């Protein structure tokens, strides 16, 4: 827990009319004022709100699409969700593909903070793991598109707009894309699990801020304090 004067000096509290408020109330107010001062862009020491939001939206969408896709394989032709779930799966998949493009563009525009690991091999593995996650997400989206448009029909995205089919002239396009979609999806989930385990390893064993940085932005003072604590 940080001091109440970290974000606002004592004089500032008096101007706000806070004189005898309990410490936990002051801490809460400090956190809110400090958080609002952090921009949506990434900083040298922390992720911004936009990167954090994109990360967690992507995580929940990937898990949700995988669960829905797996359940779809158990449906029979006369099941009530036989047509509904594939429509949702394809629509959300297309929207996720658009989100991925925006996420990559944002990553180039607003550079992420450096990896906290002190070991070069671990830092290299982290960069490689992130790159592989992005590649696999794009492969899953593209292969899903190729499955859905193999018959030449466009993809209707929640009746909002349509993504036209592209004639590629690939023999057995639906079958080939289907195999790629399935195996890469399994690989993506496995890599996501390893990614999560690595984050918990940083939290419990390395005791650094890797996990915390992806939960909310940190102030420079708090990040510096945590670095000093982890090095002690």
Query: Per-residue pLDDT tens for 84-139?
Result: 999 999 999 999 999 999 999 999 999 999 888 768 888 899 899 999 999 999 99
CATH number of the domain encompassing residue 200: 1.20.950.20
Tokens 């799966």 identify what position? 89
Give the DSSP H or E segment for 120: helix 120-148
Residues 84 and 178 in one domain: yes
Predicted structure pTM score: 0.79
Residues 95, 124, single domain; the answer is yes
Residues 70, 167, single domain; the answer is yes
Query: Do 226 and 116 meet the contact criterion of CB atoms below 8 Å apart?
Result: no
pLDDT of residue 34: 52
Place of tokens 């598109």: 145
Higher pLDDT, 157 or 25: 157
Cα distance between residue 116 and residue 128, in whole Å? 15
Task: Inform me whether the pLDDT recorded for 41 exceeds 60.
Answer: yes
Domain count, the chain: 2
Q: What are the structure tokens assigned to 42, written together?
A: 């990434």
For residue 24, pLDDT over 70 is answered with no
Q: What pLDDT was estimated at residue 59?
A: 97
Tokens of 167: 């004639």
Same domain, 8 and 98: no
Minimum mean pLDDT among 28-37, 109-118, 145-154: which range?
Answer: 28-37
Give the lowest-confidence range in 8-17, 93-102, 182-191.
8-17
In the structure, how many helices (H) and strands (E) does the chain have? 8, 2
Cα–Cα nearest to 73, from 86, 88, 62: 86
Residue 56: Cβ within 10 Å count? 12
Q: Residue 227's pLDDT is what?
A: 53
Given a contact cutoff of 8 angstroms between Cβ atoms, the answer to whether 163 and 154 are in contact is yes
Taking all residues of the chain, what is their mean pLDDT, rounded to a whole number?
A: 84
> Is residue 25 located within the same domain as residue 66?
no
Mean pLDDT across 170-196:
96
What pLDDT does residue 22 have?
A: 55
Looking at the predicted structure, is the pLDDT value of residue 25 above 80? no
Residues 30 and 77 in one domain: no
| Whether residues 23 and 73 fall in one domain | no
CA distances from residue 141 to 44, 114, 177, 182, 227 in whole angstroms, order as listed: 31, 28, 10, 11, 38
The burial of 45, by beta-carbon neighbours within 10 Å (0-12 exposed, 13-18 middle, 19 or more buried), is given as: buried
Domain containing 32 equals 1-37
């Amino acid at each position: 827990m940080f001091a109440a004067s970290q974000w606002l000096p004592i004089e500032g509290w008096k101007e706000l009319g806070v004189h005898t408020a309990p410490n936990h109330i002051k801490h809460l107010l400090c956190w809110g004022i400090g958080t609002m001062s952090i921009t949506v862009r990434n900083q040298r020491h922390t992720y911004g709100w936009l990167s954090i939001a994109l990360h967690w939206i992507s995580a929940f969408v990937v898990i949700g699409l995988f669960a829905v896709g797996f359940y779809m394989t158990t449906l029979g032709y006369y099941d009530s969700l036989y047509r509904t779930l594939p429509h949702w799966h394809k629509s959300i998949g297309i929207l996720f593909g658009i989100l991925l493009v925006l996420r990559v563009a944002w990553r180039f525009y607003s550079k992420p903070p450096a990896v906290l690991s002190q070991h070069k091999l671990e830092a290299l593995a982290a960069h490689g793991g992130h790159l592989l996650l992005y590649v696999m997400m794009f492969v899953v989206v593209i292969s899903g598109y190729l499955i859905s448009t193999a018959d030449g029909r466009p993809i209707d995205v929640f009746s909002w707009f349509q993504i036209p089919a592209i004639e590629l002239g690939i023999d057995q396009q639906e079958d080939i894309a289907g195999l790629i979609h399935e195996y890469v999806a399994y690989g993506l989930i496995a890599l996501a699990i390893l990614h999560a385990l690595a984050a918990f390893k940083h939290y419990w064993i390395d005791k650094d801020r890797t996990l915390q940085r992806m939960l909310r932005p940190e102030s420079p003072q708090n990040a510096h304090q945590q670095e000093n604590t982890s090095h002690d």
